[in-house]
Structure 1
Amino acid sequence: MASSRGTRGMALRQRRTQAPKPISCSSSFSYEDISSDGSDSERDDDVSCVVCGSGDSPADLLLCDKCDKGFHLFCLRPILPSVPKGSWFCPTCTNHNHKKLKSFPLVQTKIVDFFRIQRSQELTQKISQDIRKKRKRGSSLVMSKKKRKLLPFTPSPDPTRRLEQMASLATALTATGTEFSNELTYRPGMAPRSANQSALERGGMQILSKEDSETLNLCKSMMERGEWPPLMVAFDPQEGFTVEADRHIKDLTIITEYVGDVDFLKNRENDDGDSMMTLLSAANSSKSLVVCPDKRSNIARFINGINNHSLEGKKKQNLKCVRFDVNGECRVLLIANRDISKGERLYYDYNGDEHEYPTEHFV
């Protein structure tokens, strides 16, 4: 579950699970381990978590509205980011663990329509070749002393495999009730596009160079024509939806832009969404912006975070999240921070440079 980074105070606590480490929560727990009989939940203060057996952290203890059993947010698999609004039913009562995920049909016309793909692949290939030739001509012995440039992703050469990759994303988007979008969207009642001004950033942000902007635009145009990043979305019983590399990816490759509806942070302080991302951290907090991918989004929503409280967790990080000034607007990119092997899951650090959020419950 992706979450916002670089935000502070109550807004941060509402959007992310602020849970102390459980006393004895087993990571090997599965929903089948939950018994269907009995309940010791006569009163809320007497409830213990079915998974770890502890009644600690009552603010993070959910009660099923059907069986009254208790579950810590951080003991559920996948972990819940916050207490859901409205009624909540445990996995046993909803039979969630017995429901088979319905895969998106592997039909080219349906996938093309779902992602609104244009049919002009030859033009995209020519643009890609021209940019690569231009970079080769401009190379020199002093390149190592200059800022390293971002790379466009290299799509899988097999068109059938690319359809399978897109179908995996369509499956995840459909299952979460999310419309596909590959751009920041500005909706009535939320922040207008005029509010997205990188000049308002309190600490400054990196400026995307002209050449890197061309690379980002190339990636966008390739996707519009069906040449997608080599990524597969899969469902994991502990992590939920997760993203895997489907072929080798080079360091500094643009993986995706983090997109969704743009809104003011002040409007989202009590939001229980699990995947908001900081877009603009303004000196005037009332002008700070977040990206909300719960209604419209792309594959970025399903890229998970690392447990940066453990050495093993830190070793898994293979992406970095960077906010850029692109022609005066704020944009967020996920970029490979090392070579990524085929089959690796993609992870990045939600905390960025501030290290405010305890991620010890990430698996």
Structure 2
Amino acid sequence: MAPATSSPSSPRLISFIRRTHAPNNIRKQPPDSPKEKKYRSMSDIYARAKYAVVERDDYGNLMCEQCGSGDQPEELLLCDKCDKGFHMKCVRPIVVRVPIGSWLCPKCSGLKRVKSLSQKKILDFFGIKRNSREFKKKRSSASSQDAKKRRRRTRPLVLHKKKRRLLPFVPSEDPDKRLKQMASLASALTALHMEFSDRLTYFPGMAPRSANRADLENGGMQMLTKEDTETLERCRAMTKRGDCPPFMVVYDSCEGYTVEADGPIKDMTFIAEYTGDVDYIKKRETDDCDSMMTLLLASDASNSLVICADKRGNIARFINGINNHTLEGKKKQNCKCVRYNVNGESRVFLVATRDISKGERLYYDYNGYEHEYPTHHFV
């Protein structure tokens, strides 16, 4: 399923109405006012709400406590305790949706602010087994070796133009740039209280690994070729040593978290594997998780599997879907979701479907070939 988009409603207005009508959070009236007492009856509450409308102009000059700007007032949230303003994207963790009910800022709620991640914390977050000196200074030798491998593998491809093979991603050469890319992903995962996982995970109470059998797929599943398997393993090895794909996870007030290319991406480039916890679709039919992906569609529906990326996942979780009911939506699509049989197990990969330029956001069709999920609310 697609990441949910933010509501166009005004959180500022919602917060104001919530304060002016909540009997347990009533402000005191001016000292000279006869309404200084607390309200208990509904008539008193409505009378107070009418009086509070006069105070509405007090919020006209509201500023965000983090950035100090009053721009984009429709994204300003008011804390129900300290009555200070905060932009939804300035709060840490970021507020993706307009809160329903009361809302407290991180200071009043006691939540710790998501701080910028140091290089050591980034390496620890992704489990990269190398020290900082190696990360910064030994890139040249690895890149030259990768370039030689690419040159050797490029020559025979000319003889097989009809066979489109997966290409490995090309990491950014600047180590500081790669750190920023990894930091953007780590910050987004931390804000959603998620763990980084670059593999499918199986936990007790969910589907066991033995349930992931590609031969159960209704109509069969395409096999990943030997060459593409080598490409997949090569990309996994690069990620382990800190050579991440050139993508940035950014926040958009409408789309929420989304992914942008931080460098040129060629057609048929491997982007990421969709990872998370594996469970049976039957058990998740009423789940409101906004980041589920079909893993296996078996002839027997009770054997069908789904990937749930709400607790564990990687950058694939933040790539948004398109509205495949409109031509404008279809034009945005620049990558696709494909399922392969890899050593007898079903795996889900995201692959570029055309050349992607730097700064371009990534979109794919969540439905694939199933056309069962409504995508009218997608971009």
TM-score class, shorter: 0.7 to 0.9
Which structure 1 residue ranges, 4+ long, deviate > 4 Å from structure 2?
26-30, 77-80, 99-104, 120-127
Contact kept, 8 Å, 2:7 with 2:97, in 1: the verdict is no
Contact kept, 8 Å, 2:166 with 2:268, in 1: the verdict is yes
* Aligned equivalent of 1:202, options 185, 209, 218: 218
Contact kept, 8 Å, 2:215 with 2:221, in 1: the verdict is no
* Aligned equivalent of 1:115, options 106, 126, 136: 126
Code of the aligned partner of 1:143: H
Q: Shift in Å at residue 92 of structure 1? A: 6.7
* Aligned equivalent of 1:323, options 309, 333, 339: 339
Superposed counterparts of 1:123-138, under 5 Å: 125=143, 128-129=146-147, 131-138=149-156
- Of 319-328 and 352-361, deviating more is 352-361
Partner residue of 2:2? 2
Q: Shift in Å at residue 134 of structure 1? A: 3.2
Partner residue of 2:180? 164
Structure-2 change in CA distance of 1:79 and 1:107 (3 Å): closer
> 2 CA distance for matches of 1:296 and 1:181?
6
> 2 CA distance for matches of 1:218 and 1:33?
51
Partner residue of 1:212? 228
Contact kept, 8 Å, 1:320 with 1:336, in 2: the verdict is yes
Q: Shift in Å at residue 130 of structure 1? A: 5.2
- Match of 2:306, SS? strand
> 2 CA distance for matches of 1:311 and 1:27?
24
| 2:11 counterpart of 1:31 | yes
Structure-2 change in CA distance of 1:108 and 1:270 (3 Å): same
Structure-2 change in CA distance of 1:148 and 1:79 (3 Å): farther
Contact kept, 8 Å, 2:259 with 2:361, in 1: the verdict is yes
> 2 CA distance for matches of 1:104 and 1:213?
38
Structure-2 change in CA distance of 1:79 and 1:310 (3 Å): farther
Code of the aligned partner of 2:369: D
Q: Shift in Å at residue 31 of structure 1? A: 2.7
- The TM-score, its normalising length taken from structure 1, stands at 0.74
* Aligned equivalent of 1:182, options 184, 188, 198: 198
Of structures 1 and 2, the larger Rg is shown by: 2
| 2:363 counterpart of 1:347 | yes
> 2 CA distance for matches of 1:92 and 1:238?
22
Which blocks of at least 5 consecutive residues in structure 2 are unaligned? 22-41, 43-79, 81-94
Code of the aligned partner of 1:239: E
- Match of 1:143, SS? coil
> 1 CA distance for matches of 2:201 and 2:276?
6
Superposed counterparts of 1:291-302, under 5 Å: 291-302=307-318
- The TM-score, its normalising length taken from structure 2, stands at 0.71
Contact kept, 8 Å, 1:256 with 1:335, in 2: the verdict is yes
Q: CA RMSD in A?
A: 3.1
Structure-2 change in CA distance of 1:104 and 1:279 (3 Å): farther
| 1:267-294 residue CA offsets vs partner (Å, 9 max, x unmatched) | 2122111111110100111111111111
* Aligned equivalent of 2:301, options 267, 282, 285: 285
> 1 CA distance for matches of 2:198 and 2:148?
24
Q: Shift in Å at residue 103 of structure 1? A: 5.3
Contact kept, 8 Å, 1:309 with 1:360, in 2: the verdict is yes
Q: Shift in Å at residue 264 of structure 1? A: 1.2
Structure-2 change in CA distance of 1:170 and 1:310 (3 Å): same
> 2 CA distance for matches of 1:296 and 1:104?
20
Superposed counterparts of 1:94-109, under 5 Å: 94=104, 104-109=115-120
Q: Quick one: higher RCO (CA 8 Å, sep 6+), 1 or 2?
A: 1
- Of 150-159 and 305-314, deviating more is 305-314
Partner residue of 1:337? 353
- Of 102-111 and 276-285, deviating more is 102-111
Report the number of matched residues: 298
Contact kept, 8 Å, 1:124 with 1:221, in 2: the verdict is no
